[in-house]
Chains A and B, each alone.
Chain A
Amino acid sequence: KNEVEQSPQNLTAQEGEFITINCSYSVGISALHWLQQHPGGGIVSLFMLSSGKKKHGRLIATINIQEKHSSLHITASHPRDSAVYICAAVQGGADGLTFGKGTHLIIQP
């Protein structure tokens, strides 16, 4: 079974700071999802990537398949970015999806 580790577990930063959240996994995967869970509980998919890098607005996600590692970056962070960020590794087929435990991010004004 895939072990998915996220770091840090908790992160508090000031508005405007560059944020990096890391995700590593133990077994080769087909793809990796990054999700955002708002304080109200709703979950939004941010990225699904299987190689390289993707960018959407101030969010950037990268993945290194050989090193079994992915990062989520937030540039010019804002208090509205405060949320829990969760990575999930896709093993494919019936093996399903393994989630990290999430990174709780707080951006202070």
Chain B
Amino acid sequence: DTAVSQTPKYLVTQMGNDKSIKCEQNLGHDTMYWYKQDSKKFLKIMFSYNNKELIINETVPNRFSPKSPDKAHLNLHINSLELGDSAVYFCASSQDALLNEQFFGPGTRLTVL
């Protein structure tokens, strides 16, 4: 059974479109995260939710909006996609906040043309 799953695995889209990436964890964890890994492989935290509440919101454009319908899901919606949004997006979860081991999803490679 996959612990943290993301869909889709690959996403190719045109500039200006709106797209969503879904994340689900079946570990019973309270905290979920979104990370962005750029073309230089540098990871950066974007958002963190604990029990459906936003606890970390790094400096990301307003075009990125996380949505957590329940504590097992944290989806990422991106409006008006730009070329610079091309990256690999990783979802992760942990039992509590950042002081616990994190479990990562397989990543979603987003390519904006």
Contact = CB atoms under 8 A, between A and B. Distances in A.
The finding on whether chains A and B are genuine partners in a shared complex, rather than unrelated, reads: yes
Interface of A: 30-31, 33, 37, 41-45, 48, 50, 84, 86, 88, 90, 92-94, 96-97, 99, 101-102
Given A41-B88, A44-B104, A96 B99 contact: no
Given A30-B98, A99-B44, A42 B103 contact: no
Interface of B: 40-45, 48, 55-58, 88, 90, 92, 97-104, 106-107
Contact of A48 (B58, B100, B104, B107): B100
B28 to A, nearest CB: 17
A43 B90 contact: yes
Q: Which 7 A-B pairs have the closest CB atoms?
A: A43-B104, A99-B43, A90-B98, A96-B56, A97-B45, A45-B101, A96-B45
B44 A41 contact: no
A92 B48 CA distance: 12
